[in-house]
Structure 1
Amino acid sequence: MTTRERLPASTVLWRTAETMRLGRREFASNYTPAATLFATLPRGVLQIVFFTVLGGVVAGDGHRAYAFVGGLAIALTTTNTVGVINVPFGDKYFGTFWRIRTGAMPVALLQYARAAPYLIAGFVLFIIEAAIAALLLDMSGLAVRLLPWLPLFALMACGYALLGIAAATATIAKRADVLAPNLLACLTMLCSGAFLPPGRVGWVDAVGSVLPVRHGLAAVHAGLAGRPWQTEALLELAICLASAVLGILAVIMQTRRATRHGHDDFA
């Protein structure tokens, strides 16, 4: 079979499912139960607790609820979702990109399918972290009120993951593949509105408006306050879709580069 032959839809679905199964095994090898239990889980809990306490100290007890919601979003994205960048990293370090780009399946589809288990596991872990942090902070009531808004948190995680894959894929040949996702994490933490409410610093608002998380968090805060939230949710969805497109463009760029140079060593 050549790469120009169209695969039946049933074959595409089956291969996508098999790729997700591979991604699950890949995730299990990168994040063992011991590492998750003694490293990732405590880190997420402490991150939520730290930013909630910090918000109360800096802005008063009235800001603790705002900081708690923001801490949840940051823990979900920069702690639990960042693992998806292992997908392009793995192809680089193990030299497997050529096998993927010369196959019959779209490269971007395979990347996203392999990343899905990371995203799902990270979200499950996030729920556990949120429950533990809420108990420690005596904010269980707020945590219960947030349950209907979990789909928005999932949307934020998805947008951040897709943009992280795009950033890692686009810079993997420039030896900046670690720097780019870390820079994205810092920008997200600063510009998401998690701890600095909108309207305080102009350039922070401008940068945050085109990054994942900010609009999703604004929608959650609006929903909790009984204000209209649909517009912000739609903006978050638009950024998520734009991030997916950027990931596809990054894959196309690297595929063409590999074809032009005749190798996939990303030197």
Structure 2
Amino acid sequence: MTLSELLWRWSVVHQMGWTSFWKEYPPRILALTALPRVLLQSAFFVLLVGVAGGSPAEEYALIGVGAIAMTYFTVTTICDVTIQEAESGTFPRHRLAVVSPFAAFLCRSAPHVVGGVLTVFLVVAVVPAGTGHAELTVDLLPMLPFYILMAVTCTVAGLTVGVLSSPSDNYILASNVFSSLILVGSGAVIPAERLGWFGDISAVLPLHNGIAAVRASLDNGNWAGPLLAEVCVGILWAGAARAAVELQIRRARVRGADDMV
């Protein structure tokens, strides 16, 4: 197979991912449910920490809530990529296709990455003004490339959770638990150094190092180190996702079924 043929096949899977995404989440549904949820949730976190720490704490949280808001797409809805395969009964046939299951999952994950990035943009553009820190929007918008990287690393981590927890209903619990771990351990609203040992090990979670890079850049500090660490974390989670897919395939061959539970 030539490279052009392989790229064409990947593009077809990519288009199928968008078709499936819009079937599951029509624009009207997203506008009326998901977007108000992430905006109100972000504002709630900012105002909550403001009660305890005042305006400086609100500014601290505003840097992180945009990243946390993206987990709706990059951790929660990303599980649909694998769940749809399991519920449709297409995974056994998919294992025999030219495009590997892992490559197909990555191609179909693109809408969730885009959704995460757009969520960040919306939160950064709206929430600071709504909480009395409109000037912070100007500072955060140039940080969008940092958030794009975080959307990618968080998506591959969410894909790992989706692969390991599908096709049972455990994916609902797993994605929510993982989102909660990221919320607490990323340093988005609570400084990681206050979390003791959990703050130390949470460096392997997505967003942790990326948010630290954004804070360092805004403070004119060394942001390259944390950003490189976020890249490394993304690579590690991509490897974990690949291993999870291979484990699913191996278990399916041994058990004659695709259920990993």
Q: Same fold (TM over 0.5)?
A: yes
Matches within 5 A, 1:147-166: 147-166=141-160
Paired residues, what number?
260
Larger mean CA deviation between 218-227 and 201-210 belongs to 201-210
Deviation string 1:70-117 (CA, Å, 9 cap, x unpaired) is 11111122x232311110011111111112111111110000101112
Q: TM-score, normalised by structure 2?
A: 0.94
Contact 1:41–1:129 (8 Å) recurs in 2: no
User: Identity, % of aligned pairs?
Assistant: 32
Larger mean CA deviation between 194-203 and 220-229 belongs to 194-203
Match among 67, 77, 88 for residue 83 of structure 1:
77
Letter in 1 for 2:189: F
* Distance change (3 Å), C-alpha of 1:211 and 1:114: same
Partner of 1:142: 136
Partner of 1:116: 110
Contact 2:212–2:226 (8 Å) recurs in 1: yes
* Distance change (3 Å), C-alpha of 1:166 and 1:90: same
Deviation string 1:174-216 (CA, Å, 9 cap, x unpaired) is 7532222221111001101011113212122123111111100
Q: Please list every run of at least 4 consecutive aligned residues from structure 1 whose deviation after the TM superposition is greater than 6 angstroms.
A: none
Partner of 1:200: 194
How much has 1:164 moved relative to structure 2?
A: 1.1
Name stretches of at least 5 consecutive residues in structure 2 with no aligned partner: none
Partner of 1:185: 179
* Distance change (3 Å), C-alpha of 1:173 and 1:20: closer
- In the alignment, the residues of structure 2 paired with residue 167 and residue 125 of structure 1 have an alpha-carbon distance, to the nearest angstrom, of 21
Q: Does 1:172 align with 2:155?
A: no
RMSD over aligned Cα atoms: 1.6
Deviation string 1:11-64 (CA, Å, 9 cap, x unpaired) is 111111111111111110111112111101101111111111112111111111
Q: Does 1:244 align with 2:227?
A: no
- In the alignment, the residues of structure 1 paired with residue 224 and residue 116 of structure 2 have an alpha-carbon distance, to the nearest angstrom, of 25
Partner of 1:4: none
Q: Does 1:214 align with 2:203?
A: no
Contact 2:186–2:202 (8 Å) recurs in 1: yes
Contact 1:92–1:266 (8 Å) recurs in 2: no
Name stretches of at least 5 consecutive residues in structure 1 with no aligned partner: 1-6
3-state SS of the aligned residue for 1:131?
A: helix
- In the alignment, the residues of structure 2 paired with residue 118 and residue 201 of structure 1 have an alpha-carbon distance, to the nearest angstrom, of 30
3-state SS of the aligned residue for 1:177?
A: helix
Q: TM-score, normalised by structure 1?
A: 0.92
Partner of 2:20: 26
Matches within 5 A, 1:51-90: 51-77=45-71, 79-81=72-74, 82-90=76-84
